[in-house]
């Protein structure tokens, strides 16, 4: 792996996708080769898995998705994107920016669905060979703010496409509180890898700080 692998994490509506896009644009303008992708998604197989997992109509067609099945599908998506996109891009020296990765499974399935972090990490070892990013940008503004933003975003998405991606966003506040707390646990456990942006600063100032952190990693 000669490139740099960076993941973006946070609750739905935390602003991570906006920050990922800004970082991608800044790095590309500096002349870096940048590859961006999201999980679930980012490959043809992953896009199919994404629509099964995220569309709230899925359950009407397929029946309730078992939490264990949800976890396994997240890792099926991840295995495919590692092999097809992430590892080849890192091998050719690109900077890979991935919108969500295993921390999301630990937070949402491990804590949110209460399957347990240990189970998720064991699966990560088995399926992803334990491959972790060198840097994770964790956007963790106050929970209420993220939830309100996610709801607005989903309403826009329904108006635009007629379909929704809110199977997760229907979850209640208790679910999201567990997710939020697990992200805090991950950040405390792995301070070298995880940089937390928790305060309510402007998009511009957070973008500048993220770029700063990434420049420092590139100098290492
Ligand atoms: P996003 O692409 O808008 O961030 O949404 C993806 C949704 O999928 C979000 O609600 C979190 C959820 N998710 C998991 O529950 N586990 C995972 O491992 C991943 C990658 C996403």
Cis peptide before 163 (omega within 30 of 0): no
CA angle 203, 168, 63 (to 5 degrees): 160
Q: Which domain holds residue 139?
A: 4-219
pLDDT score at 165: 64
CA-wise closest residue to 104 among 80, 133, 144, 83:
133
pLDDT score at 163: 66
Between the CA of 179 and the centroid of ligand 1 the distance, in Å, is 11
Q: Could you say which residues of the chain have pLDDT below 70? A: 1, 163-166
pLDDT score at 143: 87
CATH number at residue 170: 3.40.50.300
CA angle 184, 189, 192 (to 5 degrees): 105
pLDDT score at 113: 97
Handedness of CA 173, 179, 182, 183 (dihedral sign): negative
pLDDT tens, residue by residue, 187-219: 999 999 999 999 878 899 999 999 999 999 998
CA angle 103, 104, 108 (to 5 degrees): 120
8 Å CB contact between 194 and 136: yes
Q: Whose CA is nearest to atom 5 of ligand 1?
A: 12
Per the structure, the count of domains in the chain is 1
Between the CA of 39 and the centroid of ligand 1 the distance, in Å, is 7
8 Å CB contact between 112 and 175: yes
- Please give the model's pTM, rounded to 2 decimal places: 0.94
Q: Given the CA of residue 167, which atom of ligand 1 is nearest to it?
A: 10
């Amino acid at each position: 792996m000669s490139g740099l692998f960076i993941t973006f994490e946070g609750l739905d509506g935390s602003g991570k996708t906006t920050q990922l896009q800004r970082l991608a644009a800044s790095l590309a303008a500096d002349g870096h080769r940048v590859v961006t992708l999201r999980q679930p998604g980012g490959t043809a197989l992953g896009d199919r898995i994404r629509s099964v997992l995220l569309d709230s109509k899925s359950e009407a067609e397929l029946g309730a998705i078992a939490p264990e099945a949800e976890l396994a599908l997240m890792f099926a998506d991840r295995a495919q994107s590692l092999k097809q996109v992430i590892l080849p891009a890192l091998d050719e020296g690109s900077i890979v920016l991935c919108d969500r990765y295993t921390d999301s499974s630990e937070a949402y399935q491990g804590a949110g669905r209460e399957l347990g972090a240990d189970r998720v990490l064991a699966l990560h070892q088995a399926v992803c060979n334990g491959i972790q990013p060198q840097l994770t940008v964790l956007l963790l503004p106050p929970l209420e703010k993220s939830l309100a933003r996610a709801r607005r975003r989903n309403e826009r998405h329904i108006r635009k496409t007629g379909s929704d991606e809110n199977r997760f966003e229907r979850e209640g506040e208790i679910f999201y509180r567990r997710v939020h707390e697990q992200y805090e646990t991950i950040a405390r456990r792995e301070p070298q890898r995880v940089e937390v942006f928790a305060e309510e600063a402007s998009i511009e100032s957070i973008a500048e700080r993220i770029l700063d952190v990434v420049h420092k990693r590139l100098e290492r």
